[in-house]
């Protein structure tokens, strides 16, 4: 079982290393979000909000990248399906859940490789990062990555082709960038947006990462929505639902091909 997980995970990580465009994109988007958006808001509003908005955005982008990168990577199973590689995997004498979990582990490795790039960008932009605190929370951030992978397989199970994935997935993931509070506080929202925000899995992933980083700091109450334990419980429930339902639906589609 462990060798199967390691093999599938290694394949996904090697694919990332060979994909130059994805590597470049992993640097460009954080630079835009942190360097341009975060810096501009910090310059204009930083003195009035009581905390460093550049750091707020930086931590949010870490949570968002872990969630979104893993979810997006899982969608690559659509490509595997179209070139019949997924069928080769599913006839292997291992559990379907092992195969899916191997994909999640592989894409989580990719996400953490991207986090290294984000940290480098943060250093270049002089984000006031506490390196010791950041290192301490990194093991916990894998929660955001794993829930992203489970969410990705759940979405994938309802997609029929790579074309539909390219068209539909951005409309599912992009609104969560703004509803989850990656770039701005979401404590106060209009009723409709509040409901959608609390329904978005990325909200709890980002809040969990922020909560772990800011725990014990004076600005904790200003930047965190819920206690990290509450976020963890919600994410655990979502993970179980997404993984089981997504895997069952995806395997059923493979059998019906």
Give the tens place of pLDDT for each residue, 35-56: 666 566 666 565 666 778 888 8
CB 236 within 8 A of CB 146: no
Give the tens place of pLDDT for each residue, 81-130: 665 555 555 555 566 677 777 788 888 888 888 888 888 888 887 888 88
Q: pTM score, two decimals? A: 0.85
* Sequence spans of domains, the chain: 2-255
CB neighbour list of residue 82: distance below 8 Å, 6 or more residues apart: 161, 162
Stretch 198-216: mean pLDDT? 93
Q: Tell me what percent of the chain is helix, strand and coil, each rounded to the nearest 5.
A: 80, 0, 20
């Amino acid at each position: 079982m462990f060798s199967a997980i390691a093999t599938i995970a290694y394949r996904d990580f090697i694919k990332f290393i060979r994909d130059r465009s994805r590597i470049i994109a992993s640097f460009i988007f954080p630079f835009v979000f942190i360097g341009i958006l975060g810096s501009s808001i910090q310059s204009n509003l930083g003195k009035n909000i009581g905390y460093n908005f550049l750091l707020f955005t930086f931590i949010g982008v870490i949570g968002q990248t872990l969630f979104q990168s893993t979810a997006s990577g899982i969608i690559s199973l659509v490509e595997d399906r179209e070139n019949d590689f997924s069928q080769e995997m599913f006839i292997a004498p291992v559990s379907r859940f092992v195969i899916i979990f191997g994909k999640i582990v592989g894409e989580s490795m990719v996400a953490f490789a991207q986090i290294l790039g984000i940290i480098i960008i943060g250093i270049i932009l002089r984000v006031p990062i506490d390196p010791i605190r950041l290192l301490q929370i990194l093991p916990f951030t894998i929660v955001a990555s794993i829930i992203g992978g489970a969410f990705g397989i759940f979405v994938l199970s309802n997609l029929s082709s790579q074309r539909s994935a390219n068209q539909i997935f951005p409309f599912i993931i992009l609104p969560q960038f703004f509803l989850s509070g990656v770039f701005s506080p979401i404590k106060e929202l209009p009723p409709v947006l509040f409901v959608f925000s609390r329904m978005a899995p990325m909200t709890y992933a980002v809040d969990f990462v922020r909560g772990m980083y800011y725990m014990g700091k004076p600005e904790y109450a200003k930047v965190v929505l819920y206690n990290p334990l509450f976020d963890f419980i919600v994410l655990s429930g979502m993970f179980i639902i997404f993984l089981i339902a997504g895997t069952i639906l995806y395997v059923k589609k493979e059998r019906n091909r």
